[in-house]
Structure 1
Amino acid sequence: MRQRITFVHEPQDGIDPKSIGIHTNTLTLPSLKAAREDQITLSLDELPQELRIALSQTKELHIRYVTAAPYDSIPPFNSRLAPGLHVYYTPKTEIGKEGQEFSDLLCGLIDTLFDLEDKSLCQTPEISFTSLPSKTPQQSGAGYEYYLPHSQLSASGTPPLQTYASRLCDSTTCNTRVSSALSSAYIDLDFSSSTGVSKLTTFWPSQTWDSASVSKIDHTDRVELGVLSNEKPIREDDLNMSGFLTVLGESKAPAPTMFQFPSRHHAHSSRFSTAFIEPTGLHPTLKLSLGSSQPPKGREGCRLNAHLNLPRSVFPDKYQFRDALYLADKNLSALHYVTLPVDLEAPEYTMALWGSSLLVELAPPAPSEEAWTAEIPLHLRYLLPTESGYSTTSLPAPEVFWACDAGEESKLAVNPFDRVNLGYEGLFGEQTLFYHLKPEVSRGQGELYSEVQVPVLSTRFNTEMEIGTAVVVGLGFGWVLRKLWEVGKRSGYGRNEAEGKVVEKEE
């Protein structure tokens, strides 16, 4: 097992390296205000049996769980994903051919890790996953995508993050590390058959750590500790970091270090929030409220995008995005990607796919610090009846970012903290930089979800409605039979009389 613990603080929050305690099997830190990333590298033998069997039969698997609470990012941890569960999966064999064995295991694994509210939400990748194209060779492996919001996780009532963290590993060391993740912003699980190892990455936003202690239980463990600070970079898109590195069992004192590397993900100074325009009905419009229209400094040709993950109760109509005047009125530029196929008529309770995703380019006004809005038209599927006549569904905050070309000279892959396989970045070229706007909660809500009330059939007067419907149908059927009998009686008499006259004439 390998552990890499990284604390990143603002320059004014630094600590004296002499205060880092180095012992035989333990590293200790004094009180420190910093963001933290823990990365644990495990072999298959160190994983729980169900997870080990599933991973041994896959080419690539990337699971991302993101908390619903907003948080502040700090370089080099600026990547963003919508809250909820994201799964990106590549089978060893093409789905539908000889990959059936792992297809059945994958949904069982997801249920084990997250205790799904409804087991039918994930049946097999053939049925419940959607294909995910990629323009990036390094990310071409993430061929299938799956997403669930928080409301569909953890049927037992236990927080999904706690359920997930407690079932990720078997060893005491791993469990000790992961159990502290309940206050984290996200946990990633990455596996690639090319390396044969899995990586668990946990990130906490900046907070005050009263004290921190890192130890190894097994003598074969390798533990690396970094306490770093961001410095002013020489190049605008690079990260320049300095601080101290310590390897437990090897270092006698923290070693000073400084390094610079290009970064794929950056934080933009602007923010955004989302809300549905009232009244919603069955065709709600999601309004994005953005703090400014300023593009990233020093960058030309950047485009502002919104990437949405829509649960199966909500869907887009791609044909609406073909009208240029309609898009201009909504401050939209173009629809660049939508999951296919999207059934425009099916009720939610007949859907097998997890939902759909779409990438929309926004059309910001001239660069300024003034706030502005964009509107994305969506549609609701018919939901199951309820007693009240209404049901509620929620939409996670999208990823909103400026996408800019880094140029061929940037070597983005050398970033040791690079976070890839996020779904949306595969829709762009491999030399794309992302400048993320920070999402904010809507008024009256504490999570990064926008709720919408859906009108459905009421079951309050279900019995009376059934009896009334039966009576009306019966009366109508009786009336129709009577009219047919009356018409038949009249027509039959007239026809016989006419036939009689014809016979007499012939005689």
Structure 2
Amino acid sequence: MRQRITYLLPQGTSVDPSTIKLTDDGLDFDDLEAAAEERRITIGLTQLPEEIQTFLADFHELHIRIASVLNHPTFSPAVSRLPPGLHAFFTPRTPNADTGLCDGLRNILGERVKCSNSSESFSKPPILSERFAASSTYQFYNSPLDLAVVSQVLREGICGKFEEGSSLHTLCGVLAEAESAVNVDYDFDVISHAVTITILWPPVTREGTIRPRVAAKKLEAEDRLEVGILSPEKADEPEELSMGGYLTVIGEDERPNPTIFSFPSRHHPLPQHDKTTYTATFAPPTGLHPKLTLSLPASTLQPPKEDSCALHAYWTLPTALFIDRYQLSDPLFLASQNLIALRSLSGAQDLEAPDWAVKHPWGSAALFELATPNVTTTAEDGFWNITIPTHLRYVNSTLSIDGKTPLAIPWPTVFWACEAQEGLKMSTNPFDRVNLGYDGLFGPKTMFYHVPPNGEVEKLVELLWVPTLDVKNSGWVSFGTVLAVLLGFGWVCWRLVRGVGGSEKKEGEGKKEQCF
């Protein structure tokens, strides 16, 4: 088992090496609470329980990303974002074969997971670039609240199954603490024959309290543990990020080693002078056709590079809400919403099916290219507003509250996609993050400059109240339906009897006339 723990400090932060304390199996330093923490753990497949090995045998590759619903700040170079919720990208070992992914997710998240093991339950992300980046065959998405649920299940139901004091018990405890994390990634592929778990914690929680930190420590004596205490430095090239600080291999180095290094990166923060943020809200009244409005300050909405940059939004939607690709094929309508194009749409696209009859139970994923203001356009109240029209399906009323059912809709993630120079080796980045859904829709040399959400917003989710049947009064509906059917049936029978009687009377009168 290998661990790499990196403490990320804000740019300009200096660390006194005398405050770094080394032991035979760990490291601690005085400014631990002020740093964001990325912990990457690599476990050989044979070190995992047999049931997990059996589960992974179905996959050629499996990538699970769980993003927090809370609006955490991110520190360079760990700036990549996803809409909150659980995202799974995978390729089965055998093409078109069923996998145990849904069963595994139900063991953790319960029956609320909307999928079956059949490959038809998942969507296939399209390939938009001939020189595509890493892209798995299938995609799945689930609720924005999954990170808290996973941590609770691990803490209460799974960690106790491992022997106390064992490395797996300790690892399970670390994963259970991820409830306050920004995101948690699980990666597996048959080539590496290992599982990599990456957890990113923010320096401070949304409530303003410091997350209790545990000094970096080996899970087992023979483990390899690398610890970095780093902060951003000014890079020489725009495609690169630079980090400086101290690196230590626990048990091998007698003292922290000062370092500064640069590397090409596909994910970047906005330039330091650019303070652009965005908010996402549904314009009231939402009705059956909610419109999501993305608001960005018009004065600062400028591309991070002079050319070859376009603003995009990537959005994953539950089945109850869908996008009509035909509505977004009209250039005039797109221009009126400050949209350039719907670049990609995968998953549930049936325009008439109710929520419970959708072929792809999890929903859909959409990539939009957004228009930006220029010298001839005007912005309302200093903000550039972009509208994404959506449509609601009929949903099941079992969760209805006074005739309405709540839907948690995640915010989209917003970023600039810019063309990078040829020959850059992005994979040399020790913090590289791929298989995010949208990166596979661009070429491998694309750089993503992420626009952060407005810092005053606590949760990156919008609550929609969908009109449904009020179950408290559903008995009256059944009674009224039966009564209407009986009345209608009686009326039809009466009209039939009356019609037959009338025709017989006319026939009798005709015969009398013939006699005379």
Q: TM-score, normalised by structure 2?
A: 0.88
Aligned mates of 2:407, 2:276 — CA distance in 1: 28
Aligned mates of 1:359, 1:164 — CA distance in 2: 33
CA contact (8 A) 1:30 1:210 kept: no
Distance 1:282 1:164, change over 3 A: farther
Shift of 1:501: 8.2
Q: What's the Cα RMSD here?
A: 2.7
Secondary structure, aligned partner of 2:277: strand
Stretches of structure 1 lacking an aligned partner (at least 5 in a row): none
Distance 1:47 1:137, change over 3 A: farther
CA contact (8 A) 1:273 1:441 kept: no
Match of 1:257 in 2: 259
Match of 2:221 in 1: 219
Distance 1:468 1:214, change over 3 A: closer
Match of 1:78 in 2: 79
Aligned mates of 1:416, 1:3 — CA distance in 2: 13
Match of 2:207 in 1: none
Stretches of structure 2 lacking an aligned partner (at least 5 in a row): 205-209
Aligned AA (1:295): Q
The answer to whether the aligner puts 1:106 opposite 2:101 as a matched pair is yes
CA contact (8 A) 2:12 2:231 kept: no
Superposed CA deviations along residues 63-113 of structure 1, whole A, max 9, x for unmatched, are 111111101112111100111111111101112xxx23xx1x211111223
Match of 1:35 in 2: 36
Superposed CA deviations along residues 275-309 of structure 1, whole A, max 9, x for unmatched, are 11111111110111112353333331211111110
Distance 1:260 1:464, change over 3 A: closer
Superposed CA deviations along residues 210-259 of structure 1, whole A, max 9, x for unmatched, are 87522225332000011112111111231111211111111111112221
Aligned mates of 1:354, 1:11 — CA distance in 2: 40
Aligned AA (2:436): L
Aligned mates of 1:194, 1:26 — CA distance in 2: 30
Secondary structure, aligned partner of 1:131: coil
Aligned mates of 1:261, 1:232 — CA distance in 2: 12
Secondary structure, aligned partner of 1:404: strand
Pick which of 20-29 and 368-377 moved more: 368-377
Secondary structure, aligned partner of 2:436: coil
Aligned mates of 1:224, 1:165 — CA distance in 2: 27
1:136-285 to structure 2, matched below 5 A, reads 139-151=133-145, 153=146, 159-163=149-153, 171-207=168-204, 212-268=214-270, 269-285=275-291
Shift of 1:387: 5.8
Pick which of 195-204 and 158-167 moved more: 158-167
Match of 2:293 in 1: 287
Match of 1:128 in 2: 121
Shift of 1:430: 0.8
Which one of the candidate residues 436, 440, 459 is aligned to 2:454?
440
Distance 1:365 1:137, change over 3 A: closer
Match of 2:330 in 1: 323
Aligned AA (1:251): D
Aligned mates of 1:394, 1:211 — CA distance in 2: 31
Aligned AA (1:435): Y
Distance 1:296 1:163, change over 3 A: farther
Aligned AA (2:328): F
Secondary structure, aligned partner of 1:475: helix
Aligned mates of 1:209, 1:256 — CA distance in 2: 27
Distance 1:250 1:173, change over 3 A: farther
Shift of 1:195: 0.8
Aligned mates of 1:56, 1:278 — CA distance in 2: 48
Distance 1:494 1:138, change over 3 A: closer
Distance 1:79 1:140, change over 3 A: closer
CA contact (8 A) 1:37 1:202 kept: yes
Shift of 1:410: 2.5
Pick which of 18-27 and 392-401 moved more: 18-27
Distance 1:393 1:182, change over 3 A: closer
CA contact (8 A) 2:301 2:373 kept: no
Match of 2:485 in 1: 473
Which one of the candidate residues 301, 305, 309 is aligned to 2:312?
305
Superposed CA deviations along residues 320-358 of structure 1, whole A, max 9, x for unmatched, are 101111111111111111114511111112335200111
Pick which of 127-136 and 4-13 moved more: 127-136
Aligned mates of 2:430, 2:88 — CA distance in 1: 22
Aligned AA (2:69): A
Secondary structure, aligned partner of 2:71: coil
Secondary structure, aligned partner of 2:242: strand
CA contact (8 A) 1:299 1:404 kept: no
Q: How many matched pairs? A: 490
1:337-356 to structure 2, matched below 5 A, reads 337-351=344-358, 352-356=360-364
Distance 1:473 1:270, change over 3 A: same
Match of 2:68 in 1: 67
Shift of 1:422: 0.3
Q: TM-score, normalised by structure 1?
A: 0.89
1:445-456 to structure 2, matched below 5 A, reads 446-456=458-468
Aligned AA (1:145): Q
Distance 1:12 1:500, change over 3 A: same
The answer to whether the aligner puts 1:366 opposite 2:366 as a matched pair is no
Aligned AA (2:277): R
Aligned AA (1:128): S
Aligned AA (1:130): S
Aligned mates of 1:469, 1:209 — CA distance in 2: 57
Aligned mates of 1:189, 1:164 — CA distance in 2: 15
Ranges of 4+ aligned residues in structure 1 off by more than 6 Å: 208-211, 499-502
Secondary structure, aligned partner of 1:78: coil
CA contact (8 A) 1:34 1:205 kept: yes
